[in-house]
Structure 1
Amino acid sequence: MGWCVKRSIKNRNYLKVWAFLITTVLTSIASAGDALRVGIHDKPPLTQIAANGQITGFIVDVLNLIAAEEGWEIEYVPCNWDQCNQMLTLGEIEMLSPISSNEAKQRRLDYNRESLYVNWGQIVMAGKDAIKSPLDLAGKTVVALSSDPHFADLKELAERFDIRVRFLEVSDYESVLAWVDHGPVDAGLIPRSFDLGGFQQYPLIKSSVIFNPAEIRIALSPLNGQIPNAKRIQRLDYHLTRMKGDRDSAFYQLQEKWFGNTAVVEIPEWLLWVMLFLLLLMAMLAAGVLLLRRQVRLKTGEIHEMNGRFTSFMQNLPGIAYMKSATGQYLFVNPVWETTNHLPESQVIGRQSAEIWPERDLESREQDERKVLVEGKPVETTEVHPWGKRPSYWRMIRFPIIGLPGEETLVGGIGLDVTDQKETARELTHLHHQQQLLLESVGDGICGINGMGRCTFVNPAALEILGYSREELIGHKFHDLIQHTRHDNQPNPEKESALYAAYRNGQRGDEIGLFWHADGEALTVELSVYPIANGELPGAVLIFRKQRIVA
């Protein structure tokens, strides 16, 4: 989410206040999962799927190390490349690896920043030194895996330099080796990470032709949500950076285990000359930059630092954010603010709200901003936004941004859309009202019993039949008040009643039972009990009607 702040903010303390308040809002949003489903496609030795479905490889071992330290439970899901991408898009898996940073960027996926491995495409052949540069591929046939990301780059390279190459596509890397070894094709394309030592039946060698360096990353599903993805990316990068910074860490031990010393690449002579030229060019550019840097270092550093921090915050902020001067002119709005208000930043910066929306009543919002400046404290409100297709509710926090002595105090604001929460609460209230009307309108007595046998709700018909008030029933054991004695005046064991079987054992029942009226009269009733779930213990709903009065 790239953008540039058009007005210079003099004090870096503004940004520190932004970081604190935005972090406070973001941490109130819960995002957790019981297990992480990670899609794995066959790319040995980075990842490999055995015939029995067992998943192993360098990336799997690294993820297991990180999961053990983070307390994550990982479920690896084997799939081919197209299936993995579809499952990631639909949210059926939370993460996918291996994937290059370029592929993740083209698919607009979230991905971690610290690479697990640097891979590139490499040409293999049967005859030594038969192919020394990409130009030697002219007139030859090259076989490649159709889903190999380096394949598209090789075809683009050949087209760009008008190298006429015949390409053949297969479904797995062993087929690539077999076609090259048996002679129908001249060369094959494999990734740098591919271990020829595991296929000694094909005596092939790697040529000096390499291209398309790609950093291997871990991609995350966009359906996870921005906040969970940002947290997982931060933890992945933290552990990778820590392990890669220690040459004795398990990371390098796993590299030795899976790659060993067999992946030695012969660097072609032409590439050495290109690298030397680039080094000389970089040295000349560095000297020029050093000469100019003394004149512009401070101001350029401040601008880059502010842009970097703002960009980092705004990419992960799910709500609107803005900043105003003490006189009410907008100094900054984030992309979510632009989308919500249907206005680009260029039409907002430097203008007051009354200039932008002269037809709207904004007095209450401006009054809150003045209160922030006068009292120097945050003001939190819930506001209705009535100007869209449908009214929306926003939880707004406006706060002062205090500069150095002599500098004006600015007003900052952040807001989260709470429309869904408001509508859910309204629907629940309406549903509760309907249920209450239903309970009060029926002629049968209805009581709710929790898992401890205590009455939790009762309708008017039940109160009339039993002769108790609502306060005398709610919270008390129903059996002790209503079913305590049999016809022969002997105690009625609670565990023998249909009501007990319902609220403790989850058994539905119907029976003719004996209830006792509040004034001591015995009532014969027809009753039905229905078990209901109620947290750890079940409960029950009791429905009954008076059959006859027993003298």
Structure 2
Amino acid sequence: MSEQRRRYGLCLFWLLILLFLSPSITHAGRVVKVGVYQNPPLVSYEKGKPPQGLYIDLLEYMAQKEGWELEYIPCRWKDCLRMLEEGKTDVQTAIGYSEERAKRFLFTGEDVLVNWAHIYRRRGAEVNSIPDLQGKRVAILEGDIYEVPFIELLNSFGLKPEVIRLQSYDDILRAVSEGRADAGLVNRLYGRLNSGRFPAVEPTHIALFPIRVKFALTKWGGGSREIKEAIDKHLAGLKKSPGSLYYQSLDRWLGVPEKAVIPVWLRWVAVSAAALVLLFFLNNCFLRFKVKLATREIREQYEEIEGMRDYLQSIYEATPDMVFVHGEDGRIL
């Protein structure tokens, strides 16, 4: 009996040692199902290739630290939300926070970044403000966090455009590019890095609805709280460390220089400054020419005087008798 108790105590001792040496032991080997959809540069996927994007970089880092095995599940956005709500996925990437969504999902405390909506139009279309959307065809993402507030905004203006609900941001810009929609609502990061693939599309100055973009977890998962705490811990640590994977990934995926937009007034200032510089240059050239001309005239006069002096000197030296000049009254000049 004592031998059995000794073995039991020894096993318990080593189990406690393992627990203390590995704080993440409760997470180790856990399969975490992750919903991914087409929202580059935050997250995207291609058939036969692993998903990529800012969120994927962060999750891979956390999985390595926690010993998770990530299982990525591609889905359309509306399906991603449904699967998360039903507990078919554990984590959803790149999801904007709202009070309504917080009733359905468990959000991380840490934000990954802040995003907002941006309206793009078909090149040349008269869409410069919200009222310009009246009677236009406007494409939006079905189930997008911007969908409800955008419809409410249109109603508050008394506008009745034809709203076209599509399944991805790519579908939206493609519809605008092909003329099936006059304008489309996408998030600003997607538009910034992807609108160049659609030459017939251009951005407007209409920006709306800033939101906090986070990770969300299912409320049905038994380990959701632990996963949330792990994500918050690692994300907070990465954000506090300059040069960390978080900032490297931000630079990698979002570090595309913005196209410089030169204000009209600055163009006029530049033109005016260039004109002043040109005027100064021409005036300087003219003054230099005048100085050069005057200098040449003075030199010619000096040479003429020098020649006259030499001539008179030669006459003086060649005359043996004194020569003087007198006036009509006989005075010596």
Number of the residue aligned with 2:52:
56
Q: 2:63 aligns with which of 67, 83, 107?
A: 67
* 1:127 positional shift: 3.4
The normalised TM-score by structure 1 is 0.39
Q: Which letter does structure 1 place at the counterpart of 2:229?
A: Q
* 1:113 positional shift: 0.9
Question: Structure 1 residue 241 and structure 2 residue 236: aligned?
Answer: yes
Q: 1:223 aligns with which of 220, 223, 228?
A: 220
* 1:71 positional shift: 2.5
- What secondary structure is seen at the aligned counterpart in 1 of 2:190? coil
CA distance in 1, matches of 2:168, 2:260: 23
Q: Which letter does structure 2 place at the counterpart of 1:209?
A: I
User: For residues 139 and 82 of structure 1, do their structure 2 counterparts lie closer, same or farther at Cα, with a shift above 3 Å needed?
Assistant: closer
Q: Is the 8 A contact 1:195 1:259 kept in 2?
A: no
User: For residues 99 and 263 of structure 1, do their structure 2 counterparts lie closer, same or farther at Cα, with a shift above 3 Å needed?
Assistant: farther
Aligned pairs for 1:294-305 (under 5 A) are none
> Which structure shows the bigger proportion of residues in helix conformation?
2
CA distance in 1, matches of 2:55, 2:260: 21
Aligned pairs for 1:394-473 (under 5 A) are none
- 1:417-475: per-residue Cα shift (whole Å, max 9, x none)? xxxxxxxxxxxxxxxxxxxxxxxxxxxxxxxxxxxxxxxxxxxxxxxxxxxxxxxxxxx
- What secondary structure is seen at the aligned counterpart in 2 of 1:168? strand
* 1:254 positional shift: 0.8
- Unaligned 5+ segments in structure 2 are 1-25, 262-333
Q: Is the 8 A contact 1:45 1:195 kept in 2?
A: no
- What secondary structure is seen at the aligned counterpart in 2 of 1:105? helix
In terms of Rg, which structure is larger?
2
Number of the residue aligned with 2:123:
127
Q: 1:83 aligns with which of 76, 79, 86?
A: 79
Q: Is the 8 A contact 2:27 2:66 kept in 1?
A: no
User: For residues 59 and 201 of structure 1, do their structure 2 counterparts lie closer, same or farther at Cα, with a shift above 3 Å needed?
Assistant: closer
CA distance in 2, matches of 1:265, 1:85: 37
Number of the residue aligned with 2:112:
116
User: For residues 255 and 157 of structure 1, do their structure 2 counterparts lie closer, same or farther at Cα, with a shift above 3 Å needed?
Assistant: same
* 1:86 positional shift: 3.1
- What secondary structure is seen at the aligned counterpart in 1 of 2:151? helix
Question: Structure 1 residue 208 and structure 2 residue 226: aligned?
Answer: no
CA distance in 2, matches of 1:71, 1:206: 43
- 1:324-371: per-residue Cα shift (whole Å, max 9, x none)? xxxxxxxxxxxxxxxxxxxxxxxxxxxxxxxxxxxxxxxxxxxxxxxx
* 1:92 positional shift: 2.6
- Unaligned 5+ segments in structure 1 are 1-29, 267-551
Q: 1:251 aligns with which of 246, 253, 260?
A: 246
* Further displaced range: 132-141 or 116-125: 132-141
Percent of aligned pairs with the same amino acid? 28
Number of the residue aligned with 1:41:
37
Number of the residue aligned with 1:275:
none
* 1:139 positional shift: 2.8
Aligned pairs for 1:382-401 (under 5 A) are none
CA distance in 2, matches of 1:118, 1:264: 20
Question: Structure 1 residue 152 and structure 2 residue 145: aligned?
Answer: no
CA distance in 1, matches of 2:258, 2:151: 24
- What secondary structure is seen at the aligned counterpart in 2 of 1:84? helix
Q: Which letter does structure 1 place at the counterpart of 2:183?
A: A
CA distance in 1, matches of 2:241, 2:173: 36
- 1:377-407: per-residue Cα shift (whole Å, max 9, x none)? xxxxxxxxxxxxxxxxxxxxxxxxxxxxxxx
* 1:215 positional shift: 1.2
Q: Which letter does structure 1 place at the counterpart of 2:254?
A: F
- 1:48-105: per-residue Cα shift (whole Å, max 9, x none)? 1213353111101111112222222222121222332333233332211222111773
Question: Structure 1 residue 163 and structure 2 residue 152: aligned?
Answer: no
* 1:198 positional shift: 4.1
* 1:195 positional shift: 4.4
Q: Is the 8 A contact 2:195 2:202 kept in 1?
A: no
The normalised TM-score by structure 2 is 0.63
User: For residues 130 and 247 of structure 1, do their structure 2 counterparts lie closer, same or farther at Cα, with a shift above 3 Å needed?
Assistant: farther
CA distance in 2, matches of 1:72, 1:242: 19
User: For residues 248 and 180 of structure 1, do their structure 2 counterparts lie closer, same or farther at Cα, with a shift above 3 Å needed?
Assistant: same
CA distance in 2, matches of 1:192, 1:184: 21
- What secondary structure is seen at the aligned counterpart in 2 of 1:48? coil
Question: Structure 1 residue 139 and structure 2 residue 135: aligned?
Answer: yes
- 1:484-506: per-residue Cα shift (whole Å, max 9, x none)? xxxxxxxxxxxxxxxxxxxxxxx
- What secondary structure is seen at the aligned counterpart in 2 of 1:164? coil
- 1:213-242: per-residue Cα shift (whole Å, max 9, x none)? 1211111122223xx333322221122122
> Which structure shows the bigger proportion of residues in strand conformation?
1
How many residues end up aligned between the 2 structures?
A: 237
- 1:164-217: per-residue Cα shift (whole Å, max 9, x none)? 322122233233222222334321111112145545442222211111212111
User: For residues 244 and 63 of structure 1, do their structure 2 counterparts lie closer, same or farther at Cα, with a shift above 3 Å needed?
Assistant: same
Aligned pairs for 1:533-548 (under 5 A) are none
User: For residues 179 and 230 of structure 1, do their structure 2 counterparts lie closer, same or farther at Cα, with a shift above 3 Å needed?
Assistant: closer
Number of the residue aligned with 2:4:
none
Aligned pairs for 1:193-204 (under 5 A) are 193-195=189-191, 197-198=193-194, 200-203=196-199, 204=201
CA distance in 1, matches of 2:60, 2:202: 33
Q: Which letter does structure 1 place at the counterpart of 2:212?
A: E
Q: Which letter does structure 2 place at the counterpart of 1:233?
A: K
